[in-house]
Amino acid sequence: MMFNKIIFIIFLLLFSNIIIAEPAIQSAQKLHSGEGWRVVRSVELGKTGKYVHMVLVDLNRDTDIAVYGAARIKICRNESEFCRIRFWNEERYIPNSLSFTKNQYKALRAEYTFNREGGIQQMRYACTVLPNKSLCFKN
């Protein structure tokens, strides 16, 4: 009986350490997702409290503009000053940081930027997603 109590106490101590030492796991559970997309990671811009959200779009839905719009609405709905989202259709190309390689840029499917202070609200797509020259970027 005493052995079980010791094991239980050790378990509690270890478990509480994991929660304290691994806050990234807790925040990962709060990442948004929806039909046809999910946030893989959110990377903070320096120490500003503003994030760039890296989103994976289902490969078979990556030309469905509604998927990008639904993600934008859900991710940015509580952001009154700043929201930035970058979209890819292959997880292996999603960068771990704000900068990305030439191949990661080539795989970028869309990007949304909202910055109230700068007066910017823009959704742009790779031309292979939306072949409209006023809304697309060549990558």
pLDDT of residue 134: 81
Residues 6+ apart with CB under 8 A from 78: none
pLDDT of residue 132: 86
| Phi, psi (deg, nearest 5) at residue 135 | -120, 0
CA dihedral sign, ordered 29, 125, 106, 35: positive
Rounded Cα gap, residues 7 and 64, in angstroms:
52
> Residue 120 corresponds to which amino acid?
I
| 111, 127 contact by CB (below 8 A) | no
DSSP H helical segments within the chain, as ranges?
A: 2-21, 23-29, 65-76, 102-107
Which residue do the tokens 């509580």 mark?
Answer: 78
Tell me the whole-structure pTM to 2 decimals. Answer: 0.77
Please name the helix (run of DSSP H) or strand (run of DSSP E) that holds residue 115, with its range, or none. strand 108-115
CA distances from 76 to 72, 79, 80, 113 (A): 6, 5, 8, 10
Rounded Cα gap, residues 132 and 117, in angstroms:
28
pLDDT < 70: residue spans in the chain:
1-30
pLDDT of residue 36: 95
pLDDT of residue 72: 97
pLDDT of residue 96: 94
